[in-house]
Structure 1
Amino acid sequence: MRILRLLIVVSIAISSTLAMAADAARQTDVCVYGSTPAGIAAAVSAAKAGRSVLLVEPTDHIGGMLTSGLSHTDFRSFEALTGFFLDFAQRVDADYVARYGADSEQVVAAFRGTHGEPSVNLRILQQMLAEYPAIQTLKQLVLEEVATTDSQLGRRRIVSATFAGPDGQSQQIDARAFIDASYEGDLLAAAGECYHVGRESRSQYGEPMAGNPQGQADGQVQGYNLRLIMTTDTTNMREPVQPAGYNRDDFVDVLQAFESGKLKHVFASDRSGIYRAHAPGMPNDKADINDTPHAAVRLSMPDINDAYPDGDRATRAKIVAAHYAYNLGLLYFLQHDAAVPPAIREDARRWGFCRDEFPGTAGIPPQLYIREARRMVGQHVFTARDTEQADGDARAVLHRDSIAIGDYVHNCHGTGRTGSRFDGQHEGEFYKKVPPYQIPYGVIVPAVTENLLVPVACSASHFGFGALRLEPIWSSLGQAAGCAAAIAIEQDLPVQAIDVPHLQQRLHADGSATIYVTDVPPDSEDFAALQWWGTRGGLHGLAPAKQPRPKSLGSQYNAAFPGHAAELDNPVTDALHKRWLTLLPADTTIPDTASKQARRDWIRAAWRHSVAGN
């Protein structure tokens, strides 16, 4: 009996100890919320700098959209891919080479590793995280609340964040720095930072394409949809089934678009279809299926999203469920309903989900593509002005505090709808081409919170966000955020006060660009020096504003953007020498004999005297 009582006492003691351990706060240097590509890049960057990291993911799936169907990566030229994302893409490419051979069709389709299958992308990201024991990944923890305290100079500081687990228990995390890498911006909102949802007016930031048709602000956000991964390979095909709650009456009106000739296909790479099968295709006969811009019938549903950014869990779940019901229900109708013309129906049935993708969710991506939610109002609001072409120059306006680059267009799939889902059109859709651009540090820096960085729901207008909301760019911003967090911890400084040139120097050393250059890649011995010099303004003025159109590589991809080469073998003219001298740091001198030597030697000397020797 005494033994039994003793065992009971010991059991109670052990249970109490385990409960206390479960409820105890976890300590770390950096807490990253959201294992999006930006979140993973931030975690890796901070760990490289010797910091401990807790990477907290609200779902049971890491990688964000990069592992949830967005495999047709949004960028324009390969020269814009640097840092973490380039490393990731090169690893994906090497994986295909190792498994199929360098000359295989899979390697060609992988498009230098930028068109990897979601399962491959997931495996590579897991490997990248596993290389750093300082990173611990915690899944299925949803942010509940943030505790803050007032700091100096009117700032606040995050003390801890509390997350809810699937079992109902809470987990508190105490960290010295926090990074909100979620698509929704939940951490920044909980911390009390100012943010915006919807479109600003044209007058707010002087953006000609802002606002509604009258130029006024509204609460509309860009449309969401699924990024399905589908195949025509019957040996790997999983046939779509009727989704729960399916009602054919919800989709009958789509037949009018086929009868009128506005639509000719269900799947197409252009606006003749609804389900956009991105070209070129992916490895192993797969395709990334997306919304089709300007098509008669769309997958994205911008008319039901506006409550999502600030919505509670139930509101968001309802909106997400509506997208799944529409995207999957419309597909089932077009593949199976007898009212669909047989030729259209049979052509659509050539496509199915993939047996080897998303096995836990029957071949359906586990995440909805949240193109836009909250946008922080931080130290620098990224707007149309940040991508304007500099006067008389091939390059965009200079940002000496740049921490990342982008090469894409301002784009939005629409924020509202006129007419019905099958006979109307999207309102608020835009696509504006701009030269490659720089992204200032202030875009990820909050106005008030001194130990928070926000690389995804970053500081931008609705129009400006359309040029930032791309996984390679978010990854670069995440890499910069992880590095900046490490510097702030090392030097015990608010993120608003760190030395941006020091941050840039670390990013350059890690192969991440702060200005677009087409002929000096990250593996060049001149990369760091040239990035430093270009970010000081040394590459502006080298090429005239008018440039030929870049050569197309298919789809949105093109060859290097003209007028953005450094041409390091060219001589430094007297005029260029004189101008470059004005860009040097105050305590740096270059001998007059430097004139007429190669640009490479001039820049190396300047960098050596002002940066490398420090």
Structure 2
Amino acid sequence: MTQRFLQRAVVFVCLMFSPLPCAHAVEHASVVIYGGTPAGIAAALAAGRSGDDVLLVEPYRRIGGLTTNGLSHTDFRTFEGLSGTYLELTRRVQTYYRDKYGEDSPQAQGNFRGTHAEPHVNQLLFEQMLSEAGNIRVLTRHRLVDVTVADESPRQVTEVIFEDADGKRVSVHGLIWIDATYEGDLMAAAGIEYRVGREARAEYGESLAPETADEQVQGYNFRPIMTQEPDNLVRPDAPEGYRREDYLPVIPLLEAGRFDSIFCRQTGGIYKAHRPTLPNGKYDVNDVSRGLVRLSLPDINNAWPDGDAAVRREIFAEHVRHNVGLLHFLQNDPAVPKKYQEESRTWGFCRDEFANTDHLPEQLYIREARRMVGQYIFTEKDTDVADGDSRTVLRTDAIAMGDYGPNCHGTDHDGPRFGGRHTGEFYKRVPPYQIRYGTIVPKECGNLLVPVACSASHVGFCALRLEPIWTSLGQAAGHAAHLALATQQPVQKVPIAELQRELHADGSSTIYVSDVLPGDDDYEAVQWWGTLGGLHGLHGPQARPGERGRNITGQYYEAFPGHAAELDEPLDDQLKQRWLKLAEENGLSTKPLAMAKTRGEFIRQAYAMLDRP
């Protein structure tokens, strides 16, 4: 493999400095990323900051994926679960609002520790982060057209053709490729094995899976940014294809008082206006789980993952008609009961967001599409609690962690669109869990990583499909790409321990620790020791698996109990013996460690023994 990689590197250098007779432009980079999602941005930053030449290709107008397209109410459970690039973004958000509006301003005080920013602010900060790296180039509005794969062992992606909005094509050559799209478009075009739909319960023994397999994917909807501020409010016009009769079935439900309001905080309405709010009087609006009227349309989404551009445009347009047309109907149709119409007319899209797309996000919320069948398949069992413990099962090859739990807004719909119900919906409480490296690695292709359309069952994917988690997986993919280049090895042979060290040094967690956070002096040591298994068994099982801390507001909680390292605690004999055994198994000298008096002293001494570059 080393000789083959060197040969390809020579070809790459020749391409860099030799004119090619071709009908379109040519680009070259060591690491090429398709998809400017938060995961793609994290991958670009990880590789770029490590010194690699990076090209980030985005099919839409703006980078940032859903984080800059309406999903500003970030899906996480605890602040202690945020790390790496996503945590960096939140800190920049705090600085932005403080610098622009003042320390005591509502904007500085009301961004929920940087996790709730306006979409245009997230976009600005992501652009700044990429620009600061200096060696990351960005192409927007370029869609994948064709992929060339060399039939080697392992197979290699060698060239990808992209096309811009004007039909001009660019040929891109790279050494390592990362597919960070929500749909897994590059992965699929490269011939990587993948799945669309749900596995049968018996396949992986998942309690949340259906009895029989099918092709259903989780429902999509828009995440519009809305406001009640009159000076910034734009009421939507009727969308193309609007037909009044499509929305009349909602009238009997309104007349029967089946809704408390049109906009609600959690339940009882049609549009969920998430709390806490965003700065400047804005709301991230979403689907109401288990509601009588849903913004998500799972019954029409199954064709999206493998659909061509025309199919996706058709599905997108139907979502516009439903999501926007319904609001236009509620605000303007004389059949709507007065109290509901008056309330709905106090709401509108934000004039200062998404100006190029009629104030609606340019991307649908693609909760699930293709899923790679990779080296390791993440399933519901990866979120199971370890025997006799408060923690989930140990994954010593973890490259990321999550704290949200499997959740699905539905995969199909029974009954009428208004008044029926979604099926395939579930929400499960679990403790924080670890994610193995094999989840982002194909079985065969030696120079491709897939952090978003990653390797998971449908149920497992429903725990991974949150932007902070995808961002962590993207950050891991970027560092893995750098190591693959540095070691001249395929991505399947990246040294995991070295990858974990790079992630910890970059502030990205591979295990949840509630009291030692990124930036703390002991963070890297505790992450290392915890990922080896040292923190498992410190606390007994919780009364309920997945028990959370005190509720802060909405879906956000204080730290999960039973997940603290408690470094100042005395090192009792039983724990010392277990830790000494673990140290010995990992090639460390146990004699000096036997003198440690506290947990922190032991971990620091053990970490200091490592032979690190």
Amino acid at match of 1:158: V
Matches within 5 A, 1:203-242: 203-211=202-210, 215-242=211-238
CA distance in 2, matches of 1:236, 1:602: 57
Q: Partners of 2:524 and 2:184 in 1: how far apart?
A: 32
Pick closer, same or farther for the CA change 1:191–1:516 going to 2, 3 Å: same
1:526-545 paired onto structure 2 within 5 Å = 526-545=522-541
Match of 2:422, SS state, is strand
Report the residue type matching 2:222 in the other structure: L
Instruction: Mark the runs of 5 or more structure 1 residues left unpaired by the alignment.
Output: 1-16
Report runs of 4+ in structure 1 exceeding 6 Å deviation. none
Indicate how the Cα distance of structure 1 residues 513 and 611 shifts in structure 2: closer, same or farther if over 3 A, else same: farther
Larger displacement relative to structure 2 (40-49 or 237-246): 237-246
Conserved? CA contact 2:118–2:278, under 8 Å: yes
CA contact 2:548–2:558 (8 Å) conserved in 1 = no
Shift of 1:364: 1.1
**Residues 73 and 114 in structure 1, CA contact (< 8 A), matched pair in contact too:** yes
Amino acid of the residue matched to residue 185 of structure 1?
G
- Structure 2 counterpart of 1:603: 603
Distance 1:109 1:409 in 2: 26
Larger deviation, residues 580-589 vs 200-209: 580-589
Relative to structure 1, is the Cα distance of residues 281 and 24 closer, same or farther in structure 2, using a 3 angstrom cutoff? Answer: closer
Q: Which residue is 1:14 aligned to?
A: none
Aligned to 2:381: 385
CA distance in 2, matches of 1:363, 1:147: 38
Q: Distance in 2 between matches of 1:593 and 1:371?
A: 47
2:577 is matched by which residue type in structure 1?
A: K
2:83 equivalent to 1:87: no
2:316 to 311, 315, 320: 320
1:123-138 equivalent positions in 2, closer than 5 A: 123-138=124-139
* Partner secondary structure for residue 88 of structure 1: helix
1:285 matched to which residue of 2?
Answer: 281
Distance 2:254 2:267 in 1: 12
CA distance in 2, matches of 1:524, 1:143: 42
Corresponding residue for 1:521?
517
- Conserved 8 A contact 1:526-1:604: yes
Q: Displacement of 1:66 after TM fit? A: 0.2
Q: Is the 8 A contact 1:573 1:596 kept in 2?
A: no
Give CA-to-partner distance per residue, 1:371-418, whole Å, 9 cap, x none: 100000101100011000000001010000000010002101000000
Cα deviations across residues 67-93 of structure 1 (Å, max 9, x unaligned)?
A: 000000000000000000000010001
Residue 571 of structure 1 is matched in structure 2 by 570
SS in 2 for 1:477: helix
Is 2:457 the counterpart of 1:436? no
For residues 127 and 169 of structure 1, what CA distance do their matches in structure 2 show?
A: 27
- Aligned-partner Cα distance in 2 for 1:484–1:257: 53
> In 1, Cα distance between the equivalents of 2:610 and 2:325?
62
Displacement after TM superposition at 1:150 (Å): 2.2
Letter in 2 for 1:114: T
Aligned length: 592
1:551 maps to 550
Residue 42 of structure 2 aligns with which residue? 41
- Name stretches of at least 5 consecutive residues in structure 2 with no aligned partner: 1-17
Aligned residues of 1:69 and 1:229 also touching (Cα < 8 A): yes
Q: CA deviation at 1:109?
A: 2.0
Cα pair distance change 1:515/1:120, threshold 3 Å: same
Matches within 5 A, 1:49-198: 49-152=50-153, 155-198=154-197
Q: Distance in 2 between matches of 1:371 and 1:602?
A: 43
Q: Over aligned residue pairs, what C-alpha RMSD do you find?
A: 1.5
The answer to whether the 8 A contact 1:453-1:481 is kept is: yes
Compute the displacement of 1:611 (Å): 4.2
Give the SS at the match of 2:401.
Answer: strand
Provide the rounded CA distance (Å) in 1 between the counterparts of 2:22 and 2:341: 57
Output the CA distance in 2 between the equivalents of 1:267 and 1:611: 57
Give the superposition deviation at 1:151. 2.3
1:258-273 correspondence to structure 2 within 5 Å: 258-273=254-269
Alpha-carbon shift at residue 239 of structure 1 (Å): 2.0
Q: Distance in 1 between matches of 2:31 and 2:25?
A: 17
Q: Could you tell me how far 1:170 is from its partner in structure 2?
A: 1.9
Contact 2:593 2:606 in 1 (8 A): no
Shift of 1:602: 0.7
Corresponding residue of 1:344:
340
Structure 2 Cα separation of the partners of residues 502 and 77 of structure 1 = 28
| Structure 2 match to 1:200 | 199
Structure 1 residue 169: Cα displacement = 2.4
Shift of the 347–30 alpha-carbon distance from structure 1 to 2, 3 Å rule, reads same
Which range moves more in the overlay, 542-551 or 280-289? 542-551
Q: Following TM superposition, by how much is the alpha carbon of 1:587 offset from its aligned partner in structure 2, in angstroms?
A: 2.7
Shift of 1:60: 1.5
Contact 2:580 2:593 in 1 (8 A): no
Distance 1:134 1:354 in 2: 35
In 1, Cα distance between equivalents of 2:512 and 2:130: 28
> Residues 290-341 of structure 1, C-alpha deviation per residue, up to 9 Å, x if partnerless?
0000111100000000011001110111011100111000000001100000
Question: Does the Cα contact within 8 Å between 2:36 and 2:57 map onto a contact in 1?
Answer: yes
Identity %: 52
User: Which residue of structure 2 aligns with residue 591 of structure 1?
Assistant: 591
Contact 1:573–1:595, Cα closer than 8 Å, also in 2: no
Cα pair 1:271 1:296 within 8 Å, conserved: no
Give how far 1:608 is off. 1.0
Contact preservation (8 Å) 1:229, 1:287: yes
Matched, 1:415 2:416: no
Residue 100 of structure 1 contacts residue 107 of structure 1 at CA under 8 Å; is this kept in 2? yes
Q: In structure 1, give the amino acid aligned to 2:507.
A: G
Between the aligned partners of 1:148 and 1:138, the Cα distance in structure 2 is: 22
Counterpart of 1:416 in 2: which secondary structure? strand
CA–CA distance in 1 between the matches of 2:384 and 2:309? 39
CA distance in 2, matches of 1:595, 1:247: 77
- Using the TM superposition, give the Cα deviation of residue 23 of structure 1 relative to its aligned residue in structure 2, in angstroms: 1.8
